[in-house]
Structure 1
Amino acid sequence: MKFNYKFSNLLGTVYRKGNVLFTNDGNTVISPVGNRITLFDLRNSKANTLPVEADHNFVTLALSPSGTLLIAVTEHGECYMISLASRTVIHRRNFMRPIRAVKFSPDGRHFAMTKENKIFIFKTPGRATGAFEAFIIERVYSCFVDDTTCVDWSSDSRFVVVGSRDMTVKVIAVVKIKHFKLNTFTSHSDELVGVFFAENSLDCFTVARNNVLCTWQASVELADIEEDDGAEAMDENDSDNEGGKDFFYRREGKHFLKDTIKAEEIVSVMSACYNSKTKHMAVGFSNGAFTLLELPEFIIIQSLSLEGYDISAVEFNLTGDWLALASSSRGQLVVYEWQSEGFVLKQQGHTNNMTCLDYSPSGQYVVTGGDDGKVKLWNLSTGFCFVTFSEHTSGISAVKFTQNGKAVLSASYDGTVRATDVKRYRNFKTFTSPEPTQFISLCVDSSGEVVCAGSQDTFEVFVWSMQTGRLVEVLAGHTAPVSGIVFSPIAPLLISSSWDKTCKVWQMFTSKGTRETIQLGADCLAVEVRPDGREFAVSTLDGCITMFDVDTAAQVHCIEGRYDLHTGRREGDLVTAKRLQKVQAFTTLCYTADGECVLAAGRSKVICIYHVGEQVLLRRFEITCNLSLDGLNDMFDRKKMSEFGNLNLVEERDDDPTMLVKMNLPGSKKLDNSTRTYRPEVRVAAVRFSPTGRAFSAVSTEGLLSYSLDASLAFDPYDLEMDITSDKVRDTASAGNWSEALMLAFRLNEKDVLREVFEAVPISNAELVASQLPQVYVEKLLSFLAAGLESTSKIELYMRWVHTTLMTHGESLKDRSPRVVALLKALQKSITLRQRDLYRVCEKTRHAIRYVVEVNAKSKTVQTKGDEMEDSEDDILNEKEPEMEECNLGGGDVEDGTSVGTAA
C-alpha cells in the first residue's frame, strides 16, 4: 500500500478572522482559514486550499492588480508573499509586530503596510519595477501617535490616506508634489475602521468605530496636481498647520451610520469597504446588520441583517455586483448579489469543535458532527457543504452512513439517535431510550436494518429496528460508559468497548447473552473491525492498540504507540511535555481499505499509520504547525513564567472594544467561538479512510482535513529494469505491440507516458489488449481508468475501456473481491461524478439539444424529398430518350436543341 498521502483540502472551516478578497475577475473569493488560505471558485462551485501553511493565523490579505501576487500577514506580523500562479511562497519576512492593513497601489508598483504608528511604502517585485528583491522599502512615515489601522491609495498611485487609532486621518504624498504638505483630519472621536479615496479624485470618505461617516472634499482636482522633481520629499516632521495654501480639505458632511439600521442596542462598525467605480459603500456592524450606501449623497440602497452575528469583513468585487460578508464569531462566509437580493455563496462551518465524521459508501461525500449540535454533509469534489441538519439540541457524538448511502444516522448527547434521508433532507426516524441517557457511540449493520447506540449514563447498548423505529433489545453487562460499538461486516456480531477495561462480543439475533468477554489492562477508548471481519482492534488508555481474532477472541497483535503521539505542553499544564507523553493514548482508530494497516490519532497534532502484521510505525502526519493553537510547543517561554504561573493565562481585552473579558466556567472545555478568550487546544477527534483507499480525512481543531494520493508528486515505478525507459515504451507502441507497450508503461509508471500510450491504443484492439494483460496489470489499468475519468475529456474512450476490461476479467475480479473492493469503489465514484456532470450540462441545454435534433431531422426530411424529386425527374428524362433517338434516324449529331429541331 502507498503512503505518500499529501494534504489536499481543508473543509469545515470557511473563515476565521481577517479580511477577505475578490480576485480581479470577480469569480473567486480568497478567505483566511486559520493558518491556511482557501479559494472559493464561485463560477465552478469549488473550494480549494492553497498548500501554504503559516506558524500563526492569517489576519491580513492583499492582492496585486495583476492577480498573481498575494501578500498574507499573520497575527504575529510574519508576512508571506505568495505566487498564485505556482501556489508557492516566494518570499517571507517577519516584521515582529501586528500588521493591521496592506494595500497595493492601482499601478501595482508599490504596496503600503501599516505597522504600529508608521506607514511603510514597499516596492513590488516584478518586471514592472525592475526589482526582484522582496520588501524593498521606498518610504516610511511615522507621523501618528497611535497604531495605524487602515490605508487606501488614490487612483493615480501618488497619494495614500491613512487612518489611525489616535482618531486622526492623514493624506500623504508618496511622490514629490508642488505646494503639498501633510493634511490631517480630526473630526472623529473613535478608532478609524476604513478610509477611502474617490475615483479620479482626492475626495475622501472616512468611517470610525462609533458609527460616524465623514466626507471630505479636496480643494484641487487630482488631474491639476503637478509633480515637482526639484522639491524635497515630504518629511515626517512637516507641520500639519503648514499645509500648502493651494491645497486643503473641507468636511462636506457628517453622517451617523446607526440611523441606517435603526438599532436600539449599542452597536459599532466592524468593517467597511468602498467601490470607487460604482460609488457604493458597504458597512458591517457588530449586531450582524450591514448597510449599502451610495456616496457622496449618502443614499441608503439596502439594509439587511445576518442573524445577529458580527460582520468582521466586507468586500466588493471589481464590478460592484457581488458583496462578500464574513463573520468570525459564526465562521460564516456569504457572497451577496445586492441587485437581485440573492446569495451567490452561503457557507458556514461548525461554530464549535468537530467531533466525528464518516464517509459515504461511494467515497463522494463526508458527514460530520460537531459540538454545536449540527450535522453537515460535504461534497469532497467541490469542498462545499450542501446540507445542514440541526434537529439535535446538543452536541453530536457519532455519525454513520448506511450501507446503501441513502441515510445518515447521528447520535447526540440530547438522548436521541436520528436517521435522516440524504435525498429528501428530512429526519424520518428518531430513536430514543426508555430512560433519558446520553449516547456516545453508534453503529448500523450492513443491511441497514439494525441500529445500535452505546450509553454514557446507563452503561447499556440499545438496539432499534430501522423500519419500525422501536427498541428491540437492551444489552447490559458493561459497568462504565460504552466508548465504542461496531458490527462485523460478515457475521451477526456486535463488538463493544467500555471504560470498564472490557471488550464484549455479542451474538446478535440468536441469543441474548454475550459470546465472549475480553479483559484488557486499561480503559477501552475505541474499537474498530477490519473490513474483512476477521479481526478487530481496540485502543486502550495505556497507549496500546491491541488486535483480536473475531472467531477465537485471542490476541493477535499489540502495538505500543504511546510515545509516537508527540504532544506539547499546554498552557494550563503543571508538568513537562516529557511527562505528558507517558499518559497519551489513541482515541480514534480506523483500518485501511485493505486491512493491512491501521490509522490512529488522539489528543495530539499527529496521525499515525501502523502496519498491523509488523507492528511498526510506517508514517506520521502532522496536521498543523499553527502556534496560535495550544499544545504545540514542548516548553514555555521563561519570560512569561512568574511566581503565579504562566502569564498567557491572564486574560486581556481584545482589540475590539465591543468584546468584554468573559470568565470561563470551571471545567468547561468547549470552544465557543463567540465567547472564548483562550487558545483552542490542538487535537484529532476522529479519522476515517475513504472506501476507495486513495484518501483519508480527519476532524481536528483546524477543521476537516483531507489527505489524498497524488500520482504526479512522486516517481513510483513497478518492477522497473534498467532497459525500461520512456523511449522504449514509445518505440514499442509505434511498432503496434500495444499490450507489451501498456505493460511497460505500467512498470515505468510515469503518468504522462502512460496516458500517451493508453490513448494511442486503437479502440478496436481494446478487447484483445485487455485479454492479454495479467491480473496484476488489470488492477493497475482499472486504477488508472478510475483516476483518469475524473479529469479527462475523452469520456467515451475511457468508458469503453472500463466496459471491455470488466467484461473480460469480471470472473477473476469477483474471486478476488476483498482485494479489489476499494478499486471498484474508486471506479464507481469516478463514473458517478462524470455522469452527474454530464447530466447537469444536458439538463441545462436539453431544449437547445431538442431543437438541434428537430432541425437536423427536418433537414434530412427535406433532403430526402429533394432526392426523390431528382429521381422522378431522371425517370421522366429516361422515358423521353427513346423518342429523341427515333428523331435522329437521319444520322444527325444530337448535341443541343437546334440539332434536334433540324433532325425533326
Structure 2
Amino acid sequence: MDWTPAGYFAGEALSSRCRFSNLLGTVYRCGNLNFTCDGNSVISPVGNRVTVFDLKNNKSNTLPLATRYNVRCVGLSPDGRLAIIVDEGGDALLVSLVCRSVLHHFHFKGSVHSVSFSPDGRKFVVTKGNIAQMYHAPGRKREFNAFVLDKTYFGPYDETTCIDWTDDSRCFAVGSKDMSTWVFGAERWDNLVYYALGGHKDVIVACFFESSSLDLYTLSQDGALCVWRCDTPPEGLRLKAPAGWKAELLQGARDEDEEEAEEENAVRAKAAPAAAEQQGKVKYSRLAKYFFNKEGDFNNLTAAAFHKKTHLLVTGFASGIFHLHELPEFNLIHSLSISDQRIASIALNGSGDWIAFGCSGLGQLLVWEWQSESYVLKQQGHFNSMVSLAYSPDGQYIVTGSDDGKVKVWNTLSGFCFVTFTEHSSGVTGVTFTATGYVIVTSSMDGTVRAFDLHRYRNFRTFTSPRPTQFSCVAVDCSGEVVSAGAQDSFEVFIWSMQTGRLLDVLSGHEGPVSSLCFNPVRSVLASASWDRTVRLWDMADSWRTTETLGLTSDALAVTFRPDGAELAVATLNSQITFWDPENAVQTGSIEGRHDLKTGRKELDKVTAKHSAKGKAFTTLCYSADGQSVLAGGMSKFVCIYHVKEQILRKKFEISCNLSLDAMEEFLNRRKMTEFGNLALIEQDAGVDGAVIPLPGVKKGDMSSRHFKPEIRVTSLRFSPTGHCWAATTTEGLLVYSLDTQMLFDPFELDTGVTPVRIRAALRQQDYTRAILMAFRLNERKLLQEVLESVPWDEVEVVSSSLPELYVEKVLEFLASSFEVSRHLEFYLIWTQKLLLVHGQKLKSRVGKVLPAVQFLQKSIQRHLDDVSKLCDWNCYNIQYALAVSKQRGLKRPSEPLGSDEEADASDDTLHLLGAGQGDGDGQLV
C-alpha cells in the first residue's frame, strides 16, 4: 500500500486501485472442508469463493478468485501448495495457495462430486457420474496442460460419492449410491484390478483405508459401518507383466543370461499347483458390522472423517449430532449435538486434535478440540440475506443486520464475528453506530428500536411507539442523544431520547412509507425520504419543525448527507441520483443511472435483461470519505462510483459472477427452452429442480419450494471512516473492498534529481528534512521506512516542525499504515505526537481532507491499545497476587520453617498464574 492520503483515495485511487479484500458474514455454504498441512488453518468454500480461516493467528482471508457457480468440492495437495477447486458446473481452478493465484482452468464436462490427491502427490482422482477418473497431478514445472487423464475406472451403476487412498498411493476406494464400494488399483496390478464390496442397504457416505493396510471401513447413510479385512498386505501387490509392443521391446533388450533365468523360473512356475495363483488374488472378508442408530430412531448419517494414526472415526448426522468412535473396536468416545441442522462436512487436522464441522443449513463453521471438549472456532453467518451495515467511527468494527432478526458485530482486522444480539423477534431493517462507537442502535419490523452496549454486550434501551408499527430505518444524531426511526405503515418519524428512553415527538407529514433517514453530521437537521416523492428536512433544535420539503420526480428510496453536511444525495425509483443544497433547498445536479445498473435477466423472466432494467433502481447510497464521490448500489450485481462534481461514472464493480444466483444471466438460455416454453416456468412437483411462478412483487422467493435461487442484490453500502475501504451487504455476504496492497510506483512531484542514492546521501549528511521530502516524492515504502527510522528520536520534534503542511498529511498516512505491521510502537508514537502538537492548528483548517487520515491513525493506535491494555491488566493482577503471597509469608512466625506445604502450594499457584494463557472470550484460539 502506498502513501496516498485517504482524502485522495476517493478520487483516482478509488477508481483504479480498489480491489476485493475479504468476505465476511458467511463462513460456510456447501462443499467439503479441508485443514492445511500444518493443521492451523481451515479452508472453507463460501458460495463461489474460498475462505481460509487462520486459527492460530485468529484471522480469516478470502482468496481473490471466484468460480462461475457455487463451489462443490476442494482438493488439497499433500504439501499444501496447490488446491483444485471445482464448482457445480464442472469448471475447475488449479490454485496456488502460496501466491494466491489461479494457475490453470479446466472443465471436467460434468458434475463432479469429490476430488482427492494421492498421498505422494503424483496423481489425483475425480468422481464424476458413475465413473472415477485418475489424472496426473500438475508438477512444479511449467506445463502446457496441467491435467492429463491417466485412466478412467468403471464399475458403479449409480453416482459415486466418496474417495479414499491408501498410504502408499497404490490403491483407492470409491463409494457409490448403488450401495457398493469399489477398490481400484492405481497401477496395473496383477492380483488386483478391481474389487466390489457390498453389505450395505443405503447410499455409501464415506470409505476409509486403515493405516498401511488394505483393510477398509465403509459407512452408509442408514448408519451402518462395515469392517473389511484384506488377506493381502500392500507389499503383496504384484505389477502385471507388460504385453504387446511393450513386451517385445523388453524382450529385445534382455540378454541371454536373463533369458536362461526366465526359463528356469518358468519351469518352477509350471511345477507349482494352480491353486497358488488363485491364492495370490486379493480377497476381502467382512469382519464386523456396527450400527449407530441403536435406539431405533432413524437418523441419516451425512458426513464422516477418519484419522488413520489415532484410529479416530468422526460421524455427523442429519440431526446435528456427531459421534467419536475408536476403530476397529467401535468404542464410543464422545457424543455431542452442535446444531439442529444437518452436518454437511467433517475434517480432521493432521494431529487429530481438532475437528471441523460445516452445517450448510445455517451456515455454521465449528472447530472442536475433542480432548479438552472446547471450541477453537465457532462462527455462524446470517441465515437470511443481510439488509444493512454500519462502520464504527474508528473503522475497527462492522455491524450487520439481517432478515433473520440477528445483529452481528464483525472485527474488520480478523474478519470474525465476536458478538451476536438476538433480541429482535423479526427482521432487522437498519443499524447504526453512535459517535462514541460503543453503542449500536437497530430498528426492526417487530416494532422496536433497540440500543446495544458493546462494553457489556447487552440491550440496555428499547424504544417503542404508542401504537404498534413497523420501523423501516433508523438514524442517530452526531451527539448520540437523539434517536429517530421511520415507520413503514403509519408514515411517521419517531424521536426518542437516548438518555431516558422516552418518546420526545412524532413527526407527521409524509404521505407514504418512510424509506430512509439521515442526520446532518454538522448540524441537528434530520432528512427523511419517503415514497410520497418528497424529502423533508426537520430541525431538531427548533421544536422538530419542517424547515424544507424537497420535491422529487419519483419515490425516494435512499438519502444521505455529505461528510461535511453541505450536500444531500437522494436515490429515486426512476434510477436517478439527485444532489441538493440543504441550506437553500436547491437541486445542484442529477445522475441518470439506469444504463449503469445493467441488471441481469432472472430465471423466470419473460422479457430480456434490457427491458427488465426498467423497474430497477439504486436502493442505497454512500458518500466517500472526502465527499468527492458517491457509491450507489441496488437491484443489480454492480456497484457504481460516480464523481459528484463532474456527474460522471468513475468505475463499476461487479460484486459477483456466481451463476447459481438469480438475475445474473444477460441473455436467454436456449437450452432451457422446450416446446412448452421455459423449463423454469413448468411446475414439477415431483422434480427436485422444479420451480413455480412467484407471486408478483416477491423478491426473496418462496423458501418452502424445492428449488430456490436467491436474487443478487446490494442492500447496503458504507464507506469506512478511515477512507481505505468500503463494504457492501449483498446476497453473497458482506464484501469488503480495500486499497490494493500490491507494490505500485506512484510518485509525487518527481523530478530527475530525486533518486535513492541522493536520499541516502542526505541521510549521511544528517539532512533529515530534505531526505524525507525526497523520499515521499519518490514514494517507495521501504525507502520511506528507512528514512523515517533513521531520524534520532530526540530530533523528531525539530524535523516535524520543518515539514511543509502538504507533507504532514502524507507522513500521518504512512504512520497509520506502519502501525499495523511495525513493532516500533514507541518510535512511531513519538512521531505522531510531535506532528499533531506542532501542526494541529494548521490541520484544523483542512479538517475535511485530514479527517480520514486521522481516523485511520486512530484505528491503528486503538487496536494496539486494546491488545496492550489486556496484557498489562493481566500482568498487574499477577503482580498483585505475588505481592499478596509474599506478604502472607512475611506475617508468619520466624520460628516456622520455610518451604512448608502451604507455601509450596502458594508458589505453585503463583507459577501457574504467571504462566497461564488468556483467551479472548468468544471461542477463538489465541
TM norm structure 1:
0.89
After TM superposition, list the pairs within 5 Å mapping 1:156-195 onto structure 2. Answer: 156-195=168-207
Matched, 1:34 2:47: yes
Q: Are 2:700 and 2:711, in contact at CA under 8 Å, matched by a contact in 1? A: no
Q: Are 2:694 and 2:701, in contact at CA under 8 Å, matched by a contact in 1? A: no
Aligned counterpart, 2:266: none
Aligned counterpart, 2:611: 579
Of 95, 98, 108, which residue of structure 2 is paired with 1:95?
A: 108
Of 283, 289, 292, which residue of structure 2 is paired with 1:257?
A: 292
User: Matched residues in 1 for 2:691 and 2:321: separation?
Assistant: 24
Change (3 A) 1:396 1:362: same
Residues 380-424 of structure 1: per-residue CA shift (max 9 Å, x gap): 000000000011111010001011111101100111100111110
Moved more, 567-576 or 322-331: 567-576
User: Matched residues in 1 for 2:624 and 2:874: separation?
Assistant: 40
1:851, distance to aligned residue in structure 2 (A): 11
Change (3 A) 1:674 1:583: closer
1:600, distance to aligned residue in structure 2 (A): 0.8
Change (3 A) 1:643 1:526: farther
User: Matched residues in 2 for 1:554 and 1:471: separation?
Assistant: 32
Change (3 A) 1:805 1:853: farther
Aligned counterpart, 2:548: 516
Aligned counterpart, 2:759: 729
Aligned counterpart, 1:198: 210
Q: Are 2:694 and 2:702, in contact at CA under 8 Å, matched by a contact in 1? A: no
Give the letter for the 1:513 counterpart.
R
Residues 185-227 of structure 1: per-residue CA shift (max 9 Å, x gap): 1212222111110001111001112222111011122234444
User: Matched residues in 2 for 1:380 and 1:654: separation?
Assistant: 45
Aligned counterpart, 1:858: none
Of 527, 532, 556, which residue of structure 1 is paired with 2:564?
A: 532
Change (3 A) 1:103 1:853: farther
Matched, 1:746 2:776: yes
Change (3 A) 1:522 1:755: same
Give the letter for the 1:50 counterpart.
L
1:54, distance to aligned residue in structure 2 (A): 1.2
User: Matched residues in 1 for 2:142 and 2:786: separation?
Assistant: 41
Residues 166-201 of structure 1: per-residue CA shift (max 9 Å, x gap): 221111111233433421112122221111100011
User: Matched residues in 1 for 2:564 and 2:643: separation?
Assistant: 16
1:228, distance to aligned residue in structure 2 (A): 4.8
1:136, distance to aligned residue in structure 2 (A): 1.7
After TM superposition, list the pairs within 5 Å mapping 1:265-664 onto structure 2. Answer: 266-650=298-682
User: Matched residues in 2 for 1:512 and 1:706: separation?
Assistant: 37
Change (3 A) 1:845 1:199: farther
Residues 47-85 of structure 1: per-residue CA shift (max 9 Å, x gap): 111111111111101111111111111111111111111
1:661, distance to aligned residue in structure 2 (A): 7.7
Matched, 1:779 2:809: yes
Aligned counterpart, 2:719: 689
Determine helix, strand or coil for the equivalent of 1:724.
coil
Residues 689-711 of structure 1: per-residue CA shift (max 9 Å, x gap): 01111111000011000011135
Residues 305-325 of structure 1: per-residue CA shift (max 9 Å, x gap): 123100000111111111101
Determine helix, strand or coil for the equivalent of 1:780.
helix
Determine helix, strand or coil for the equivalent of 1:258.
coil
User: Matched residues in 1 for 2:73 and 2:189: separation?
Assistant: 31
Give the letter for the 2:113 counterpart.
R
Residues 357-394 of structure 1: per-residue CA shift (max 9 Å, x gap): 00001100000000000000000000000000011111
User: Matched residues in 2 for 1:673 and 1:350: separation?
Assistant: 15
Residues 288-320 of structure 1: per-residue CA shift (max 9 Å, x gap): 111111111111111211231000001111111
Aligned counterpart, 1:799: 829
Aligned counterpart, 2:800: 770
Q: Are 2:52 and 2:62, in contact at CA under 8 Å, matched by a contact in 1? A: yes
Q: Are 1:180 and 1:243, in contact at CA under 8 Å, matched by a contact in 2? A: no
1:245, distance to aligned residue in structure 2 (A): 5.1
Give the letter for the 1:138 counterpart.
D
Q: Are 1:330 and 1:673, in contact at CA under 8 Å, matched by a contact in 2? A: no
Which structure: larger Rg?
1
Residues 826-859 of structure 1: per-residue CA shift (max 9 Å, x gap): 10000011222333455566688899999xxxxx
1:530, distance to aligned residue in structure 2 (A): 1.0
Q: Are 1:181 and 1:243, in contact at CA under 8 Å, matched by a contact in 2? A: no
Q: Are 2:473 and 2:487, in contact at CA under 8 Å, matched by a contact in 1? A: yes
Instruction: Give aligned pairs, total.
Output: 839
Aligned counterpart, 2:843: 813
Moved more, 25-34 or 482-491: 482-491
TM norm structure 2:
0.87
After TM superposition, list the pairs within 5 Å mapping 1:205-220 onto structure 2. Answer: 205-220=217-232
Give the letter for the 2:172 counterpart.
V
Change (3 A) 1:139 1:569: same
Matched, 1:139 2:145: no
Moved more, 219-228 or 171-180: 219-228
Aligned counterpart, 2:97: 84
Of 21, 37, 54, which residue of structure 2 is paired with 1:24?
A: 37
Change (3 A) 1:512 1:825: closer
Give the letter for the 1:334 counterpart.
L
Change (3 A) 1:132 1:730: farther
Residues 858-895 of structure 1: per-residue CA shift (max 9 Å, x gap): xxxxxxxxxxxxxxxxxxxxxxxxxxxxxxxxxxxxxx
Structure 2 runs not aligned, ≥5 long: 1-7, 246-276, 885-926
Change (3 A) 1:690 1:631: same
1:562, distance to aligned residue in structure 2 (A): 1.6
Q: Are 2:681 and 2:693, in contact at CA under 8 Å, matched by a contact in 1? A: no
Q: Are 1:330 and 1:674, in contact at CA under 8 Å, matched by a contact in 2? A: no
Of 124, 147, 154, which residue of structure 1 is paired with 2:166?
A: 154
Change (3 A) 1:560 1:147: same
Structure 1 runs not aligned, ≥5 long: 234-241, 855-904
Determine helix, strand or coil for the equivalent of 2:57.
coil
Greater length-normalized contact order (CA 8 Å, ≥ 6 residues apart): 2
User: Matched residues in 2 for 1:70 and 1:220: separation?
Assistant: 33
Aligned counterpart, 1:901: none
Give me the identity figure in percent: 47
Matched, 1:248 2:283: yes
Give the letter for the 1:689 counterpart.
F
